[in-house]
Amino acid sequence: MQTDETDEALLALLADNARLPVAMLARRLGIARTTVQARLDRLENAGVIAGYTLRRGREARPMIRATALIMIEPRRQPEVLARLRSLPAVIEVHTTSGRFDLIATLTATTTEELDDTLDRIAEAKGVRGSESLVHLSTKIDRRR
């Protein structure tokens, strides 16, 4: 779906604060409330807007983040993914090419919690090996 300048301005406002009421969006864009609602409906139906979410503030975020690089045995991905899904510290998982099969992003409030999660990943059936990288400081975050 092709978006125009008004759609892009609307998306930028929502990216900054997805809780803005339609009336406020309309005022900021200088268009009618019904027009904003119609554009939102169209963008949602086309999949341009997949949903609205919560971004935690710096104080509410877990203090420790890590990446786990995971090697799995052939044809064991469904079992490994089920295990990763069951671990609350695992916030996203991606398949990848190269030496590792999966990349998991983890969050924890303590190093003990992170260590426990890494142990649970390593002991999962189908995991051949893993390597972890603890995130130290954020230099660029375009999601904010």
Domains and CATH numbers, the chain: 5-45 (1.10.10), 58-135 (3.30.70.920)
> Which pLDDT belongs to residue 141?
79
> Which pLDDT belongs to residue 138?
84
DSSP 3-state of 130: strand
Cα(43)–Cα(47) distance, integer angstroms: 6
DSSP 3-state of 99: coil
Question: Taking the chain (144 residues) in consecutive chunks of 10 residues, what is each chunk's mean pLDDT?
Answer: 89 87 94 95 92 70 87 96 94 95 94 95 96 92 70
CB 10 within 8 A of CB 36: yes
Cα(137)–Cα(105) distance, integer angstroms: 15
> Which pLDDT belongs to residue 1?
82
Joined together, the tokens standing for residue 36 give 């904003």
Predicted TM-score of the model (pTM): 0.62
Residue 120: enclosing H or E segment and its boundaries?
helix 111-122
Joined together, the tokens standing for residue 105 give 């992003």
